[in-house]
Amino acid sequence: SGDEGFGTILSIESSYYTAYVLVQVTKGPASIFCQAYPWALRPFTERPPIPAALQIQASPYTTNYMSTPSGRVLIEIEELTPGRYYDVYCFSETYVPPAATGADTVAQFGMDAESILQTRTQLITLGPFFDDLGW
Protein backbone atom coordinates (compact mmCIF):
# COMPACT_ATOMS: atom_id res chain seq x y z
CA SER A 1 0.00 0.00 0.00
CA GLY A 2 3.03 2.26 0.43
CA ASP A 3 1.59 3.53 3.68
CA GLU A 4 4.02 1.71 5.96
CA GLY A 5 6.67 4.41 6.08
CA PHE A 6 5.92 7.69 7.79
CA GLY A 7 9.23 9.39 7.15
CA THR A 8 11.54 10.02 4.23
CA ILE A 9 14.90 11.78 4.38
CA LEU A 10 14.80 14.62 1.86
CA SER A 11 18.27 16.04 2.38
CA ILE A 12 21.17 16.19 4.80
CA GLU A 13 23.45 19.17 5.33
CA SER A 14 26.58 18.16 7.17
CA SER A 15 29.25 20.28 8.83
CA TYR A 16 32.28 19.18 10.86
CA TYR A 17 30.45 17.90 13.93
CA THR A 18 26.78 18.21 13.03
CA ALA A 19 24.29 16.98 10.46
CA TYR A 20 20.94 18.59 9.73
CA VAL A 21 18.46 16.01 8.50
CA LEU A 22 15.35 17.22 6.68
CA VAL A 23 12.60 14.62 6.99
CA GLN A 24 9.34 14.50 5.09
CA VAL A 25 6.61 13.23 7.41
CA THR A 26 3.82 11.58 5.46
CA LYS A 27 1.45 11.02 8.34
CA GLY A 28 1.15 13.18 11.45
CA PRO A 29 1.12 13.50 14.32
CA ALA A 30 4.29 11.44 14.58
CA SER A 31 7.45 11.03 16.62
CA ILE A 32 10.58 11.05 14.47
CA PHE A 33 13.98 9.73 15.53
CA CYS A 34 17.21 9.98 13.53
CA GLN A 35 20.69 8.69 14.20
CA ALA A 36 24.02 8.55 12.37
CA TYR A 37 26.07 5.37 12.46
CA PRO A 38 29.78 5.64 11.57
CA TRP A 39 31.32 3.39 8.98
CA ALA A 40 33.94 0.99 10.26
CA LEU A 41 37.47 1.88 9.21
CA ARG A 42 39.29 -1.23 10.38
CA PRO A 43 40.18 -3.74 9.25
CA PHE A 44 38.56 -2.23 6.17
CA THR A 45 35.95 0.36 5.32
CA GLU A 46 32.56 -1.16 5.89
CA ARG A 47 28.99 0.03 6.27
CA PRO A 48 27.56 -0.37 9.74
CA PRO A 49 24.80 -2.95 10.19
CA ILE A 50 21.23 -1.80 9.70
CA PRO A 51 19.94 -0.73 13.11
CA ALA A 52 16.74 -2.08 14.62
CA ALA A 53 13.87 0.26 15.32
CA LEU A 54 14.60 0.14 19.06
CA GLN A 55 18.16 1.32 18.48
CA ILE A 56 17.01 4.35 16.51
CA GLN A 57 14.27 5.06 19.06
CA ALA A 58 17.01 5.30 21.71
CA SER A 59 18.54 8.24 19.81
CA PRO A 60 18.53 11.61 21.60
CA TYR A 61 17.92 13.26 18.22
CA THR A 62 14.17 13.21 18.08
CA THR A 63 11.24 15.51 17.53
CA ASN A 64 7.47 15.33 17.51
CA TYR A 65 5.57 16.48 14.45
CA MET A 66 2.17 17.51 15.73
CA SER A 67 0.37 18.61 12.57
CA THR A 68 -1.67 16.66 10.07
CA PRO A 69 -1.48 15.28 7.55
CA SER A 70 2.07 15.80 6.32
CA GLY A 71 5.00 18.18 6.48
CA ARG A 72 8.71 18.50 7.15
CA VAL A 73 10.87 18.46 10.24
CA LEU A 74 14.56 19.29 10.70
CA ILE A 75 16.52 17.10 13.09
CA GLU A 76 20.02 18.08 14.17
CA ILE A 77 22.45 15.23 14.88
CA GLU A 78 25.46 16.30 16.94
CA GLU A 79 28.80 14.99 18.17
CA LEU A 80 29.93 13.61 14.81
CA THR A 81 33.57 13.14 13.86
CA PRO A 82 35.02 15.35 11.07
CA GLY A 83 35.92 13.71 7.77
CA ARG A 84 34.05 10.49 8.42
CA TYR A 85 31.40 8.50 6.58
CA TYR A 86 28.08 7.85 8.28
CA ASP A 87 24.84 6.14 7.43
CA VAL A 88 21.86 8.11 8.70
CA TYR A 89 18.60 6.34 9.46
CA CYS A 90 15.31 7.75 10.63
CA PHE A 91 12.39 6.05 12.28
CA SER A 92 8.95 7.45 12.86
CA GLU A 93 5.89 6.21 14.65
CA THR A 94 2.46 7.51 15.46
CA TYR A 95 2.72 10.11 18.21
CA VAL A 96 1.00 8.96 21.40
CA PRO A 97 0.83 11.38 24.32
CA PRO A 98 2.21 9.99 27.58
CA ALA A 99 -0.55 8.18 29.43
CA ALA A 100 -1.83 9.86 32.55
CA THR A 101 -1.13 6.77 34.62
CA GLY A 102 2.42 6.48 33.29
CA ALA A 103 1.54 3.15 31.71
CA ASP A 104 1.86 3.18 27.95
CA THR A 105 -0.98 0.93 26.84
CA VAL A 106 -1.60 2.32 23.37
CA ALA A 107 -0.15 0.34 20.48
CA GLN A 108 2.12 2.60 18.46
CA PHE A 109 2.38 2.08 14.75
CA GLY A 110 5.90 2.45 13.46
CA MET A 111 7.97 1.70 10.42
CA ASP A 112 9.04 -1.82 9.61
CA ALA A 113 12.61 -2.89 8.88
CA GLU A 114 12.21 -2.42 5.13
CA SER A 115 10.91 1.13 5.59
CA ILE A 116 13.80 1.93 7.93
CA LEU A 117 16.30 0.64 5.36
CA GLN A 118 14.74 2.89 2.74
CA THR A 119 15.63 5.95 4.85
CA ARG A 120 19.34 5.06 4.81
CA THR A 121 21.29 8.06 3.57
CA GLN A 122 25.05 8.30 3.41
CA LEU A 123 26.87 11.42 4.51
CA ILE A 124 30.44 12.50 5.04
CA THR A 125 31.29 15.18 7.55
CA LEU A 126 33.53 18.08 6.58
CA GLY A 127 37.20 18.29 7.37
CA PRO A 128 40.20 15.99 7.44
CA PHE A 129 39.81 12.77 9.37
CA PHE A 130 42.45 12.26 12.03
CA ASP A 131 42.99 8.59 12.70
CA ASP A 132 43.55 8.05 16.41
CA LEU A 133 45.62 4.98 15.66
CA GLY A 134 48.04 6.92 13.50
CA TRP A 135 48.87 6.25 9.88
Q: DSSP for 29-86, please give it.
A: SEEEEEEEEEPB-SSS-BPPPPPPHHHHHT-S-EEEE-SSS-EEEEEEE--PPTT-EE
Per-residue model confidence as pLDDT tens digits over 58-76: 999 999 999 888 899 999 9
pLDDT of 1: 36
pLDDT of 49: 93
Per-residue model confidence as pLDDT tens digits over 106-123: 567 888 999 999 999 999
What predicted TM-score, i.e. pTM, was given to this entire model? 0.84
pLDDT at 3 over 50: no
Q: How confident is the model at residue 13 (pLDDT cuts 50, 70, 90)?
A: very high
